[in-house]
Amino acid sequence: MGLLEDMKRFLESQIDDFLAKNPHLELQVIEEQLAQQEDDTVALIVDLQSQEKQTEREILNTAQEIKNWYDRVQKATTAGRADLATAAQERVNALLPQGNQLWGKMQGFKERTAQAQELLQTIKQRKTEVKAKSIAARAARTQAETSSNTSSWGSANNYTSTSDFADPLDAQFRRWEADEELAALKRNLSK
């Protein structure tokens, strides 16, 4: 397993180096990750809302059941059937905590949905920022490529025309060559 871990770390470092040298690709990876997070968050919100609606239906069913048993308590009490009234009241008392538990569950879904919606807004905002950076990086890369192509073409021409003044080695050679020519002329004249 050590070899696999070493290979994994090596590949991860190579990928990190590559992305550091190509920031536009890193931004593209981040954009794709944000898009995936956005999709996952939307799916989570849909799921939470579905569970919230299901819990609401369960609450309504429980409330209706409590109402029915409470009506039975009233009916049995009016009819003088204390045994049935007591049993019905015990049923109401058992259903009330269940209704409270369902209510708490629904509130939990609502809170989680609100948090997921805030997260979704944050992801969308981050996605917009990354997209703007990506566009700026592409524009900068295009401009850099254009200017490097233009400047390298222009600099070759400029180098030959201004080399007399810019290159000290070239100036030394020119002086030496001029001295050599002057010495040759002097020798020819003295003959």
Residue 101's pLDDT is: 97
Token pair for 83: 């045994």
Secondary structure element (H or E) that encloses residue 167, with its range: none
Whether residue 113 contacts residue 104, with contact meaning beta carbons closer than 8 Å, is answered with no
Token pair for 29: 């990876």
Is pLDDT larger for residue 97 or for residue 148?
97
| Category of 81 on φ-ψ map: left (φ > 0), alpha (ψ -120 to 50) or beta | beta
pLDDT tens track for 61-79: 999 999 999 999 999 999 9
Q: What are phi and psi of 167, to 5 degrees?
A: -105, 110
Q: pLDDT grade, residue 51 (50/70/90)?
A: very high
Q: What is the rounded average pLDDT of the residues 106-120?
A: 95
Q: What are phi and psi of 79, to 5 degrees?
A: -80, -5
Residue 161's pLDDT is: 46
| Category of 80 on φ-ψ map: left (φ > 0), alpha (ψ -120 to 50) or beta | left
Whether residue 31 contacts residue 131, with contact meaning beta carbons closer than 8 Å, is answered with yes
**Nearest partner of 60 among 91, 99, 107, judged by Cα:** 99
* CA terminus-to-terminus distance, the chain: 88
pLDDT tens track for 151-171: 555 444 444 444 445 677 877
38-42, 44-48, 134-138, 154-158, range with the lowest pLDDT: 154-158
Residue 67's pLDDT is: 96
* Distance from C-alpha of 115 to C-alpha of 154, rounded to nearest angstrom: 57
pLDDT over 80 (residue 140)? no
Whether residue 117 contacts residue 42, with contact meaning beta carbons closer than 8 Å, is answered with no
Q: Give percent of the chain with pLDDT exceeding 90.
A: 48
Length of the chain: 191
Residue 98's pLDDT is: 95
Whether residue 6 contacts residue 92, with contact meaning beta carbons closer than 8 Å, is answered with no
Q: What type of residue sits at position 161?
A: S
Residue 162's pLDDT is: 46
Residue 19's pLDDT is: 65
